[in-house]
């Protein structure tokens, strides 16, 4: 099993500021990495796949980078609707998810 570790567990950010979320894989997943956003009571929503490709309609303030074992999701200027929990998921082998990063209002 490939273990995905996300950090930090909670990120306190002010609206308009930049948020940087990290995801580390226990072994290389090449670029087979996706990011999801989940708001309370809702299903996850795909943001990024292939480590850096934005899903259809996703605002440009969201960007993904990395390959191998280290990945980053960056939100360049946080909007009120961006406060949520973010999960990474690898699909290089059978899929596994990270534990999530909660982005909260500072």
Partner 1 sequence: QLQLQESGPGLVKPSETLSLTCTVSGGSISSSSYYWGWIRQPPGKGLEWIGNIYYSGTTYYNPSLKSRVTISVDTSKNQFSLKLSSVTAADTAVYYCAILGGNEGVSYMDVWGKGTTVTVSS
- The residue range among 7-15, 57-65, 68-76, 88-96 that interacts with partner 1, by the rule CB under 8 A, is 88-96
Decide if residue 89 touches partner 1 (CB under 8 A): yes
Nearer to partner 1 by Cβ, of 1 and 16: the residue is 1
| Residue numbers 13-52 binding partner 1 by CB under 8 A | 34, 36, 42-46, 49
Q: Which residues pair with 102 in a beta bridge?
A: 10, 85
Task: Tell which residue, 101, 91, 105, 95, has the closest CA to residue 6.
Answer: 101
Where along the sequence are the contacts to partner 1 (CB under 8 A)?
A: 1, 34, 36, 42-46, 49, 55, 87, 89, 91, 93-100
């Amino acid at each position: 099993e490939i273990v995905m570790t996300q950090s930090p567990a909670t990120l306190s950010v002010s609206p308009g500021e930049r948020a940087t979320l990290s995801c580390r894989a226990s072994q290389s997943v090449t670029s087979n990495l996706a990011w999801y956003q989940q708001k309370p009571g809702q299903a996850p929503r795909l943001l990024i796949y292939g480590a850096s490709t934005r899903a259809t309609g996703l605002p440009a303030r969201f960007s993904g980078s990395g390959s191998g074992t280290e990945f980053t999701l960056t939100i360049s200027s946080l909007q009120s609707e961006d406060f949520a929990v973010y999960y990474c998921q690898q699909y290089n082998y059978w899929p596994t998810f990270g534990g999530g990063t909660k982005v909260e209002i500072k």
